[in-house]
Structures are given as structure tokens and as C-alpha cells.
Structure 1
Amino acid sequence: MDGRLQIFAGNSNPRLAQAIVGVLETPLGRAEVSSWSDGETRVRLEENVRGSDVFVIQSLCTPVNQNIMELLIILDAVKRASAARITAVIPYYAYARQEKKTAGREPISAKLLANLLTTAGADRVLTIDLHAPAIEGFFDIPVDHLRATPILAAHFRRLGLTDFVVVSPDAGAVVRADEFRRRAGGSLAIISKKRPGPEVAEVLEMVGDVAGRDAVIVDDIIATGGTLLQAAELLRERGARRIFAAAVHGVFAGQALERIQASPIEKVFVTDTIPLPEGMCTDKVEVLTVAPLLAEAIMRIHKDLSISALFT
């Protein structure tokens, strides 16, 4: 790309956006992203982007639909202003758990969102830890799918624990937990569960020994905390010494933080793909930043360098 690098952001995660441009040592693009009196989103770019390589940072967290509309309208504004290339930087991709039909007459919302982003003007997408990697295939444009597990594993390794077990809270998280184990050390345990209903998890059994050892539960998302807390209770019953948790996306919906605060979990490590709720008690939550990772990926995309080299 010959175009200059320009970065804009919506209102979903301004602290992360500022951290990213701080690492890149470039200013955040000036744009008005607000609402009209009737609640409709208003966007106006205050800089010339003609011929530029533009990156738009927006995490699709709560309020989810508002943040999606902000992103779509910013993309449309940038496209109509004749940017040379537009990359949607989406640290947390919403609707990722609705990537398939589980019953008749259901939508595939993750695919719909992919279509909307492409129609709005995105030429490529940069995201972190999609809940279902198959979502990459929903796009007809390039998707750079980053992994934050190495950041979590490196931080956990610095704690200096010598005898611990990495626990996958369900079969779907085994690959992520095993990568964490390979990077941080320890052995692996797997919990089997079933879902009798939406956002309802029921633990069945666990493979692996945790008695007298520290345990770290590794997953991609903490939403209501149901899966995490059931896993923690099982680990306590099986004699785990101390219990930790590590997840990429801290959604913390509903009373999740309060439930974690009252749980046997000693510490929860998450990244800043989603900002923590304002005014909530977060004594047990430690936030690690993905800003350097996203900044490096943005610069590599801008210079047409390899992204996969980040994880070798």
C-alpha cells in the first residue's frame, strides 16, 4: 500500500484504541461519532482519507447492536470518502456463538454480521480469538485472526507456579487450553459438559488429576460465568489447591463479576478486548492488554508483511 496509515475508532473501547495508537506513535484520526436526538448514530470524518490505508477500531461489546451500527456507519463514511483500503479492527466479534443452527428456524447471526461488514465497506477484518474459527469462512474478504492465548500464558508463567494443571472447561476449549499448557507448562485436564438450554451448562465429568495442585481454567469467553463457576466448584471438590482462570474476552454479563467475587477462584486474567463494566467490583480480575499485539498486526498489514510470523 502506498497510502498513508490512518486509524479511527468508535466509542466501544476508547482506552484500547488510544493504547494502540500510542504503541504505533501515530495520532487517532479525528471523527465525530455521536447520536442524533432520536438515537440514530451520527458519524462525520474530520480528516481527509482519500487514498489512505484506513483502520477502524471497534469492539462489538455491550451495547452490542449500537456498537455494530457505529462500526458499519464509520466503514460506510470511510468508503464514501475514497479510502484506498479499509480494515475493520474488531478485538471482540459479537454473535460468534451464533455461528450455526442448533434447531429449526434459527438464524446464523455470525454470518449475517460478516455480510453486513463487507457490504458497509470493509476490505479486510482483523480480530482476536473468534469463538468459532470457522467464522473466518463466512467472509469473502481476508480475515487476520490473532490469538491472545500466548499473552495470557506468558503472564501466567511469570507467576512462578511449579505444579499446576491447565483445565479445559469443555471439549470445545481443548485446543486453546493445550496451547496454553504448551506455552506455560503444566499438565492438562478436560471437563465434559452439556448444554440443556441457551447459556445453561451442566458439568458431567472430568479427565485428569488436580488433587493438591494449582489449577487454571482456560477459555475464550467469560459471559455469565456459568461454565467457569461450575468448573471451579468441580475442581474444588476434586481437591485443587488454588484455582485461577484465564480468558481472552471478559464479557461479564449480568451478575458474573459478583458471582466470581464470591467463588473459590483466586484470580481471573482477561484481556482488554472488552472494557470492564464501570463501577463493578473487580478485585479478582486482572486485565492484560492486547494493544501491542494489535498495533504490530496493523503495521504488518499496512506494510504487507506476514501476520502468521507473530505466532511462530
Structure 2
Amino acid sequence: EFPHNQKAPGKMKLSEKVSKAFVEARCTDNILFSSAVSIGSCVLLLQTCPVLMNNWVHLTEPRPINKTNENGEPLEAVFDYNAGYFEVCREFVWRINDTINLEDVAKNEADYRCHLNPLFSRLDLSDFSVASLAVILRLGLPALLHMSGAFICSLAFMLGVAGHVRKTSYTLLSSISYICGSIVLSTAVLMFVCVVDDELAPRMKPNAAGEPSKFSFKYGAPFYSSSLSFVPVQICACLHAFLYFRRYPTVVEKLKFVPGLEAKLRNAQLDKELGIPPLEQWRRGSLASYLPLPSFISTRPSPCHSSNAS
């Protein structure tokens, strides 16, 4: 028996087992592919789920209610809005510093209500909102770009699986598609930011009397989910590209599928043998230092032979 503060020889904790397995792991094709599939699945969730969510941005906006003060002027209440690509929702949330009580707002106005984007429903929501409505009416193109980018990344995921199983060039196409899809989706997110800032920034300035604006906004979880998906997408692209190039370990094999690489190496080797300084310094590990000149001379037509033939 061993004391409680000592452990039996050969017995390891779970954390030690995990760290040991991580250290002893080898970057085999199966491990790289499993990592690419796992990260790719997370990418699909991060990109596709936000499309249908309506809390991309949370806004506060003052709206008139069916009440008047002692001077007969209509009162305003600050409503909370959630806006997404396809839907805008509103509810009244009472705050401590509000001059309007919950009882002053009609129940049908205070309850949580949602409306489809007027781009699709063709409804007049001018009484429902002004700022939030202005934002959602300009989200048609960002929504289209977001769905296109998510579709391209989904296609890249399927190409990566098919390319690994069949050992085809689909693996490289998957890497390229991931990058293209992420660029399209990033454009959609940037356009969303521009729309929100363009509509809310002027309204958030203090009024002529110096009173602070009642308009405000903050981004929601779908926005951050779509924005942060750019990083794992690049990891997937690198993993699939690495998997593809691992199939061609030698330099000669790489010359077969990289267009123009053989001619460029031939010229670099000839310049090196003739003592012509290169326009750019060869980097460490350059392919130009791996292939000997005779391997290219045998494939080049001899100048003497061509002159004799003429």
C-alpha cells in the first residue's frame, strides 16, 4: 500500500495522459484530416446558425406612445430592439432612470413582438421603428453575401472529405474554396458594420440642448460568431493544403502540378551556373538549390544543334 500523498509507480493522472498523448502524437494524414473535419464542422456552425438569428444587433430607440403629458405633448418610451437579416423584434424593458412606467405603455406595445423584414413582407413598419427599420432594410446584400460565403465553405467541407477519401485534387480545391468563402463572408460582416454605424452614429449624438441621445446599440452573439469564424476557416485551408502537398514529397513530383515551376527553376539553375546574380536572393531551402543543372540540360534543345540544323 502507498500513502495518500504518493501514487503507485506507472499510474498517471488524466492530465498527464492527455499531455503525453499530445506530445507523442504524430502528424499523420488521418490526424490532420480529423483535425480539419472537426474545425470545419465548427466553422459550419459558426457561419450557418447566425443567418436565421434575429439578435445580430441590440438597439435602444425612443418611440412615441399613446400617452401625453400635462402640456398635451406625446410621451416617448425607450424600446429595446433586436435586428437580424430577416427579422426585427421589439419589447419595452423598464429601467430605473426611465420616466415612463410599465403601466403607461399599452400591453400590446410593451410585449415582445417580431416582424419579418419589409423587404420580404412588404409591410409598412414606420410606426414600429425608425432606426432599426432603416438598418434591416439595408441588409439585403449582406444577407446574400453571408449565405453565399457559408455555402462556399460548406462546399469546401464536402470537397475536403471527398478529396481525402479519393486522394484527388478536391483537397486543394477545398483549401481554395475555404479562403474564397471566408472572404465573401467577411465582406458581408463588414457591410453589416457599415450599415449599423451609418444609421446609428448620427442618431447617437447629443441634441441641440446637450442632452444625451437615447439611441444606442451593441452587437450580439451571431455577429461575433460570424466574425470569429474567419480564423478557423484559415486553419482548415492550411490543413487541406498541407494534406495535398504531402502526397508529393519530392521536388520532381512537385514540378508536375505547379504550373511554370519547372521553367522557373531551369532559368534559375542556368543563371546560377553562368554566375548571373539573381534579381532576388534565394531563400533558405529554395528548390533552386535542390535540382542539379544536368537534369535540365538534357531537356533543353542544344544551341549548337539548332544552329547546325538551320
Do these two structures clear the TM 0.5 threshold for a shared fold by scoring above it?
no
Greater C-alpha Rg: 2
The structure with higher relative contact order (CA 8 Å, sep 6+) is 2
Q: Per residue, is there more helix in 1 or in 2? A: 2
TM-score of Structure 1 vs Structure 2, range by shorter chain: under 0.3
TM-score by length of 2: 0.22
